Structure 1
Amino acid sequence: MGKRANGEGSVYKQRNGLWAASLTTEDGKRKYFYGKTRKEASDKLTKALNDRKDGALVATPKQTLEQFLRDWLEHSQKQSVRERTFERYEEIVRLHVIPVLGRHQLQKLSPQHLQAFYTKKLQEGLSPTTVTTIHNVLHKALDTAFKWGLVNKNVSKLVSPPRRERFEGHPLTLDQIQTLLEVAKGHSMEALLKLALATGMRRGELMGLKWQDIDFSSGVLQVRRVLTRIPSKLEGKGYKESEPKTRKSRRSITVASFALDALKQHRKKQLAIKMKAGASWQEHDYVFCTSIGTNLNPSRDMLDPLKELLESAGLPDIRFHDLRHSTATLLFSFGVHPKVVQELLGHSQISMTLDVYSHMLPSLQADATSRLNDALSFLEDESEETDI
């Protein structure tokens, strides 16, 4: 060990250049904190001492990854992320990380441990995308461990997760969309399908849409909320209203007239259903709801009817989310600027829009080249006449 800094007590500089601080935990073990500067190590020590004074636990060198991850989920993530996100984190930690890495001491976790873990998961049949998601959760957790002074580096930063598979979705073509809407005429899903295809709205946004959000005179609707599932491990059940995930997700959308007309007809039918339901009706103002006014079940009331319509139309089986991809793909094929597509879809950054739909760029470039050729081909004719 290097020489202790004067007046710093348990803060000292190591031979490797890092500064270290230590304290004795209640079980008599030494707990170490590291930093690139004396102040950084000292600040971590001060925080640990304050936490201990306030009753918080200070990790020992033998704290396992499992112990840390359970603390991280309970004290760092449970109140700071969406319930569905928390449930996903908890499942990843419980089903994948703890069985393989949980016994390792947090401070002795190495990049080799993580790399071998990722390889094992790939060999077990998990997709590269799933393994990358596991890596992202570990990266976030170990970042917190570093900020808390439990480790001197985030070892996940030294590991390369597998490359994500690019999923391009299965958008419908214009002809297929027209066929689907023809088959859906008069169906309870007609207005929902038309609005989904006219706006590219997400499933949760459609489920959370209320009549108060639509201004029929201007033809504009506001995306103000989403319906999200309440995780089964948390209190309550079913779905709840919540804010859109990002600022860009809260947006105004000008709705095409064919979809507005469908919504007007849908409202008339809904009022008749409401009258028939009588006292059983539960008023939530949802545009798309059950026969008693409650929110739709995405599988039973949205995906299953969509699959039936697709089968009746002789169209390929797609996910509900592929309707959103269909809208975006169609807009790009019409030459709509990516910025406009981004704002319509509610992507937080245009880079996300370009990344998701980058597979379309070659065909769009070919079309642009063809149009450019048609526009400027007269130059060749003039050149030939000049040569004569």
Structure 2
Amino acid sequence: MTRGRPARPIGVPGKPMLTELSPGHWAARLLVRDASGRRRDIKRVSPVKLDARGRKIPDRNGSRALDAVMAAVSAVRVDLGGELSESTTVRQLWHLYRKHLEEQGRASSTLDRYDDVAELFNTAFGERRLLEVTTSSVEAFLTDLGAAKGPGTMRTGRNVLSGMFRYAVRKDALPVNPVRESQLAKNIEAKGRTGGARDITVDELRVILAAVRTSQLPCPRKLSKAERTRGQPVKSYTPPTVADYCESADLADWVTLLAATGLRRSQILGLLWSDIDLEEGTLRTSGKVVRVKGEGLVRVEKDDDPKNRKGVIALPDFAVEMLKGRKAALAARRLKSPPDPEVKVLNLVFPSGVWTLRDPQNVGHEWQRVRDALGIQDDVTAHSFRGAVATILDDAGLSARVTADVLMHVDPAMTQRRYMARGRAHRAAADALERAVSGES
């Protein structure tokens, strides 16, 4: 059995040894294990330093020699044979991590959002080496980011940084993730709309579904930024009614299917008629519509896409009836105005006016116009219908697992935590207490 002092970790220097070679001239020596595990003896002497007259300045206590040997050891310490090391800068780490995200198939919209945040932290401390990034420095940046951009951007910044440094830990560049223990500030004021999409009550859902087909309220266009901020005169025109606008924009059926399925808007716009079985009353999720830089709108299918999981949803009768009527209407429209034979088109359930893909962002803006006309708060978005479906199924007594299957969630706990409305008055709970106290069966 071998006894003795255990080997020092790779890259961690021992105690420096200083020797005065002559007055004001020192030699510094350090022992350090390199990436191969071998012990290396690093020596440096006091570098020459001159005053304003060109005379040598003595190294009185050996500090210059010590700084020189520590710098040499640092180069050994970080040479661990990989593309990442403690001397890698935050900016370099981001570029490597972004390539990793691309290889993982992250959506271009997600990468665009991460790029915006990366520009901010690279400006703040992008030239720091990884070993110089501390939890307190990360917290300070995130607090400033939240004050400037709002809590949503602050959370995104933490997610990106945490993923980056987790990647660095996996690559053995760091022993721990400095972002992991960071705390987000609680008193950050939100910028613009906050809190994400608001839940829709059942009564509100009924009103919306009726309004998009029958409302006679005027539906004026949304003013441009110049018209809102510069006071430019608005051209006089007679706006259509909400019902007329929803018909011309092909929005009513889209809203109906949002309420029937809880799918995301990009998923609904990516539906093909081959995904729908009207006899069985089911819908199969397959592709979604995204905008890709340099390509435009594309329909993508990916097996492990967390925002577009594959599955089958049973449709309520009102959705089946809507889809039957829609299929007949589209067939008649195709006969009257067929697509360009030179352009390859998909058999979409919700095609554009020229039978191509519709932009989820544009459809979202169309919903905003209708929402404003109906006097609905701006936190009711297309995602609010997803929460409404979860709440309705919860009220019906269905399990979280069933609701998670409908919404295509992997974890039912997340469905309960994020999608089922809380803080409501439950009449059934009051009735149960009444029966228990009164002794009624």
> TM class, shorter-chain normalised?
0.7 to 0.9
Partners in 1 of 2:171 and 2:419 — Cα distance? 39
- Structure 2 equivalent of residue 241 of structure 1: 300
Partners in 1 of 2:408 and 2:84 — Cα distance? 42
Deviation at 1:137, TM superposition (A): 0.9
The superposition leaves residues 135-157 of structure 1 with CA deviations (integer Å, 9 ceiling, x where unpaired) of 11111111222222322322112
1:329-348 matches, within 5 Å, as 329-348=391-410
Partners in 2 of 1:135 and 1:20 — Cα distance? 35
Matched, 1:100 2:145: no
Deviation at 1:295, TM superposition (A): 1.1
| Gap change, CA 1:20 and 1:107, over 3 Å in 2 | farther
Partners in 2 of 1:59 and 1:228 — Cα distance? 36
- Structure 1 equivalent of residue 364 of structure 2: 303
3-state DSSP of counterpart to 2:428: helix
Matched, 1:90 2:152: no
Equivalent residue for 2:95, pick from 58, 64, 70 = 70
Partners in 2 of 1:288 and 1:359 — Cα distance? 30
Deviation at 1:112, TM superposition (A): 2.3
3-state DSSP of counterpart to 1:158: coil
- Structure 2 equivalent of residue 158 of structure 1: 181
3-state DSSP of counterpart to 1:104: coil
Partners in 2 of 1:237 and 1:180 — Cα distance? 31
Equivalent residue for 1:371, pick from 431, 434, 440 = 431
Deviation at 1:255, TM superposition (A): 0.2
Contact 2:84–2:93 at 8 Å: present in 1 too?
no
Partners in 2 of 1:324 and 1:84 — Cα distance? 20
3-state DSSP of counterpart to 1:194: helix
Contact 1:179–1:313 at 8 Å: present in 2 too?
no
The superposition leaves residues 295-348 of structure 1 with CA deviations (integer Å, 9 ceiling, x where unpaired) of 112233x22433344345454442121122222233333333322222111122
Deviation at 1:13, TM superposition (A): 7.1
- Structure 1 equivalent of residue 155 of structure 2: 132
Partners in 2 of 1:221 and 1:347 — Cα distance? 16
Contact 1:303–1:320 at 8 Å: present in 2 too?
yes
Partners in 1 of 2:181 and 2:395 — Cα distance? 41
Deviation at 1:358, TM superposition (A): 5.7
The superposition leaves residues 227-269 of structure 1 with CA deviations (integer Å, 9 ceiling, x where unpaired) of 2221x3xx42223313262399322111011111001111111
| Gap change, CA 1:32 and 1:267, over 3 Å in 2 | same
Larger CA deviation: 345-354 vs 83-92: 83-92
Counterpart AA for 2:121: V
Partners in 2 of 1:130 and 1:12 — Cα distance? 37
| Gap change, CA 1:358 and 1:202, over 3 Å in 2 | closer
| Gap change, CA 1:157 and 1:31, over 3 Å in 2 | farther
- Structure 2 equivalent of residue 22 of structure 1: 35
Deviation at 1:21, TM superposition (A): 4.2
3-state DSSP of counterpart to 1:229: strand
3-state DSSP of counterpart to 1:156: coil
Partners in 1 of 2:6 and 2:91 — Cα distance? 33
Counterpart AA for 2:253: A
Equivalent residue for 1:32, pick from 64, 73, 77 = 77
Matched, 1:181 2:209: yes
Larger CA deviation: 168-177 vs 262-271: 168-177
**Unaligned segments of structure 1, at least 5 residues:** 34-43, 52-56, 383-388
| Gap change, CA 1:60 and 1:307, over 3 Å in 2 | closer
Equivalent residue for 2:340, pick from 263, 280, 284 = 280
Counterpart AA for 2:381: R
Larger CA deviation: 211-220 vs 271-280: 271-280
Partners in 2 of 1:58 and 1:142 — Cα distance? 11
- Structure 2 equivalent of residue 355 of structure 1: 417
Partners in 2 of 1:199 and 1:146 — Cα distance? 41
Matched, 1:252 2:312: yes
Contact 2:90–2:129 at 8 Å: present in 1 too?
yes
Counterpart AA for 1:277: S
Contact 1:4–1:12 at 8 Å: present in 2 too?
no
Partners in 2 of 1:304 and 1:12 — Cα distance? 56
Q: Report the structure number with the largest CA radius of gyration.
A: 2
Partners in 1 of 2:140 and 2:283 — Cα distance? 50
Partners in 2 of 1:190 and 1:106 — Cα distance? 52
Partners in 2 of 1:218 and 1:322 — Cα distance? 27
Partners in 2 of 1:238 and 1:327 — Cα distance? 28
Contact 1:146–1:154 at 8 Å: present in 2 too?
yes
Larger CA deviation: 245-254 vs 287-296: 245-254
Deviation at 1:216, TM superposition (A): 1.0
Partners in 1 of 2:417 and 2:196 — Cα distance? 10
| Gap change, CA 1:356 and 1:227, over 3 Å in 2 | same
Once superposed, what is the RMSD of the aligned Cα atoms?
A: 3.4
| Gap change, CA 1:31 and 1:320, over 3 Å in 2 | farther
Contact 1:168–1:359 at 8 Å: present in 2 too?
no
